[in-house]
């Protein structure tokens, strides 16, 4: 199902980020409707939920940012994210032979070309048609051009590239590059000469050269027969198996032999399987990183096919375009989405999970085609309509990312069936089914059955609670006696039973021992009012009142300083605090001090960084001394505090 369309005749590259951002560059060797010679590098952020809006159309939404160049693009590659450049680096291979590195963030901000361009290199002597970032060592970028020129760039120091070894005599113009998904120093390069060479960068040597001229090999899918043996055909693309380091796929652009070949490097004499389904040359292939049994290809027959490379089966095809489909690629993070670029001036974003055919819409009658005018658009439209426009991808099995790894279901008689999907290292996947007998506790089962029965019957829950109110139901492993368990169970179920009463509030009040009737309330209120209480503090003078004496005279009968001192000494006998009254012994006794010291030693201060158990500082001591002097003032002894 088509999710979005970008009106551009351009090559593209997906962003390595999570968002489905895509970069496009005006493709070399084609003209758009404006016949402009300018080349644009643009950044797009398509909203895949809005399927009614076409990006790049006249009056529609445009790109987030773009820069204009004088040379067109053969290939784009987007990778190498790092803390300094979270959006990565965008590499561009131009038809002028230049290799350029761009900052996508600066392009999105609509800055000038000089700020967005990170590098411009002219090491290659011809058009740069192949680019690929290493998925394991992300700072490495491979580039290929004419004359078997192959360079490896380390973006940490991109000024000086290096070669994987001596130039191969089997290669001519390099059309595609692919890093191994499991081994970082293995690189494959396809050439228009018909060879695909695998390189070992650690040993700086050519490991193996793959070439097929027709003949044997298992064939999958309908298509034309094999051509004459020994004829080399140009290879347009190469892709490694996502999980297997020894398998790769190559695509032939030859119209007489439009095949896709699956190779196993353990036996490189002939392809392991040949996929036939395209009617003309194959221009691009892409292997799903999350599911090795999904492969997409597109070619000169205007078609985009979805394959199962393991069986050679064609799972479906997209509605054909009006011109060649020259590039296709899966989204690196969302395997449900892939994009295809066509020479009819569009880049289409599709979903792999659509199984419904394209809806039929009523359109206005088309103008008759003029057979003498090769530029008549009606010719292309009729050709596309003649091919099955209602075709779609129909997956007979769930993709790998949707397949549950485990599953379980109960059967009759306590049987549990478990299913485990395990993936082997080789191509053959297998699942494991286990049947287990689950042993349950009969008492728990019976209690569960009673509860289910009570839920189904009217008034059954109340009857169930009444029946359980007197039964002992201790928890497993508890040490409570049967009597304690019966009491707890009775209290619990009695509370639940009160909730089923017509007046739950009154029932709960009665359950806790109170009577909410008006007569009981009046009786309780009268009892409270009739009850007499003794005063908490008595101010009755037990001694004779001593009138106030003039200043400077001692009142008659008033205690002298010596008498006060003797009284204080007698009252403080048996205490640790000198001069403490008998009523103060409970607060400042030695036992109380020990408790306070223990609590202070185990609880740190919440309002400071003083160590636990340390003596209070001067400020803290003054603070607590002030509180003590205020609580026990000079008049406290007269009132018994």
pLDDT, tens digit, 9 for 90 and up, residues 509-518: 877 877 777 8
CA distance 490 to 473: 10
C-alpha distances in angstroms, 39 versus 25, 35, 67, 110, 564?
Answer: 7, 11, 8, 16, 108
Average the pLDDT over each of 245-259, 310-324, 488-502, 531-545 and give the range with the smallest value. 531-545
SS3 (DSSP) at 182: coil
- Looking at residue 54, its pLDDT comes to 87
Alpha carbon 618 to its chain centroid, in Å, reads: 56
Most distant pair of Cα atoms in the chain: their distance = 143
Average the pLDDT over each of 315-324, 454-463, 619-628 and give the range with the smallest value. 619-628
Average the pLDDT over each of 231-235, 340-344, 624-628 and give the range with the smallest value. 624-628
Average the pLDDT over each of 175-189, 301-315, 619-633 and give the range with the smallest value. 619-633
Average the pLDDT over each of 131-135, 266-270, 319-323, 443-447 and give the range with the smallest value. 443-447
Percent of the chain with pLDDT over 90: 37
Average pLDDT rounded to a whole number, residues 408-422: 83
- Looking at residue 487, its pLDDT comes to 67
Query: Where residue 397 falls among pLDDT bands split at 50, 70, 90?
Result: confident
Residue with tokens 């049967």: 482
CA distance 230 to 223: 20
Average the pLDDT over each of 154-158, 371-375, 592-596 and give the range with the smallest value. 592-596
- How many C-beta atoms lie closer than 10 Å to residue 612's C-beta? 10
CA distance 16 to 128: 22
Average pLDDT rounded to a whole number, residues 468-492: 62
More confident call, 186 vs 507? 186
Residue in 119, 86, 82, 84 with CA at minimum distance from that of residue 100: 119
More confident call, 51 vs 6? 6
**201 pLDDT above the threshold of 70:** yes
Q: In angstroms, how far is the first alpha carbon of the chain from the final one?
A: 89
Q: What digits encode the pLDDT tens for the residues 13-43?
A: 999 988 899 999 999 988 776 677 889 999 9
Note every long-range contact of 60-63, with CB atoms under 8 Å and residues 24 or more positions apart, other chains counting. Answer: 60/7, 63/24
Q: What digits encode the pLDDT tens for the residues 245-294?
A: 999 999 999 999 999 999 999 988 899 999 999 999 999 999 999 999 99
- Looking at residue 230, its pLDDT comes to 46
Query: Where residue 584 falls among pLDDT bands split at 50, 70, 90?
Result: very low
| Predicted TM-score of the model (pTM) | 0.61
Residue with tokens 């596309």: 384
């Amino acid at each position: 199902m088509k999710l979005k369309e970008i009106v551009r005749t351009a090559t593209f590259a997906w962003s390595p980020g999570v968002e489905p951002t895509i970069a496009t560059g005006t493709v070399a060797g084609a003209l758009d409707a404006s016949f402009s010679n300018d080349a644009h590098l643009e950044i797009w952020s398509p909203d895949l939920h809005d399927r009614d809006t076409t990006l790049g159309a006249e009056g529609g939404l445009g790109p987030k940012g773009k820069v204009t160049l004088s040379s067109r693009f053969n290939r784009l590659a987007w990778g190498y994210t790092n803390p300094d450049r979270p959006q990565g680096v965008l590499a561009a291979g131009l038809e002028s032979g230049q290799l350029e590195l761009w900052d996508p963030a600066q392009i999105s901000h609509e800055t000038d070309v000089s700020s967005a361009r990170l590098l411009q290199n002219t090491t290659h002597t011809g058009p740069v048609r192949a680019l690929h970032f290493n998925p394991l060592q992300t700072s490495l970028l491979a580039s290929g051009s004419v004359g078997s020129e192959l360079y490896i760039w380390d973006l940490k120091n991109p000024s000086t590239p290096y070669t994987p070894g001596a130039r191969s005599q089997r290669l001519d113009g390099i059309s595609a590059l692919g890093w191994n998904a499991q081994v970082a120093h293995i690189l494959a390069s396809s050439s228009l000469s018909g060879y695909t060479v695998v390189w070992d960068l650690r040993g700086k040597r050519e490991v193996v050269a793959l070439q097929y001229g027709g003949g044997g090999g298992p064939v999958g899918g309908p298509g034309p027969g094999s051509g004459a043996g020994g004829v080399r055909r140009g290879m347009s693309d190469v892709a490694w198996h996502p999980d297997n380091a020894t398998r790769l796929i190559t695509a032939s652009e030859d119209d007489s032999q439009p095949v896709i070949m699956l190779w196993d490097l353990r036996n490189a004499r002939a392809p392991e399987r040949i996929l036939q389904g395209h009617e003309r040359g194959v221009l691009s292939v892409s292997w799903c990183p999350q599911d090795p049994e999904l492969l997409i290809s597109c070619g000169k027959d205007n078609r985009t096919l979805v394959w199962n490379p393991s069986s050679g089966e064609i799972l479906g095809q997209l509605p054909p375009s009006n011109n060649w489909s020259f590039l296709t690629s899966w989204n690196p993070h969302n395997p449900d989405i892939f994009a295809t670029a066509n020479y009819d001036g569009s880049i289409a974003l599709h979903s792999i999970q659509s199984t419904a055919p394209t809806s039929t819409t009523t359109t206005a009658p088309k103008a008759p085609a003029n057979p003498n005018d090769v530029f008549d658009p009606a010719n292309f439209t009729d050709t596309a309509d003649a091919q099955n426009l209602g075709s779609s991808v129909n997956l007979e099995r769930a993709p790998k990312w949707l397949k549950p790894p485990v599953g379980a279901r109960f059967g009759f008689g306590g049987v549990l069936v478990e299913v485990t999907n395990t993936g082997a290292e080789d191509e053959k996947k297998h699942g494991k089914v286990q049947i287990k007998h689950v042993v349950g506790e009969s008492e728990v089962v019976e209690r569960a059955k009673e509860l289910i029965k009570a839920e189904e019957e009217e008034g059954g829950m109340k009857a169930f609670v009444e029946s359980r109110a007197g039964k002992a139901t201790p928890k497993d492993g508890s040490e409570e006696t049967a009597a304690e368990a019966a009491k707890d169970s009775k209290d619990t179920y009695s509370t639940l039973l009160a909730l089923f009463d017509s007046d739950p509030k009154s029932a709960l009040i009665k359950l806790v021992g109170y009577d909410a009737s008006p007569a009981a309330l009046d009786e309780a209120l009268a009892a409270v009012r009739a009850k007499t209480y003794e005063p908490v503090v008595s101010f009755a003078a037990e001694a004779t009142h001593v009138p106030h004496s003039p200043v400077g005279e001692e009142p008659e009968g008033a205690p002298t300083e010596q008498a006060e001192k003797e009284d204080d000494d007698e009252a403080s006998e048996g205490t640790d605090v000198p001069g403490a009254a008998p009523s103060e012994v409970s607060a400042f006794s030695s036992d109380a001090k020990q408790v306070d010291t223990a609590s202070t030693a185990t609880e740190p201060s919440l309002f400071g960084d003083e160590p636990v158990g340390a003596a209070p500082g001067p400020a803290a001591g003054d603070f607590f001394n002030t509180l003590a002097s205020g609580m026990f003032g000079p008049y406290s002894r007269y009132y018994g505090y």
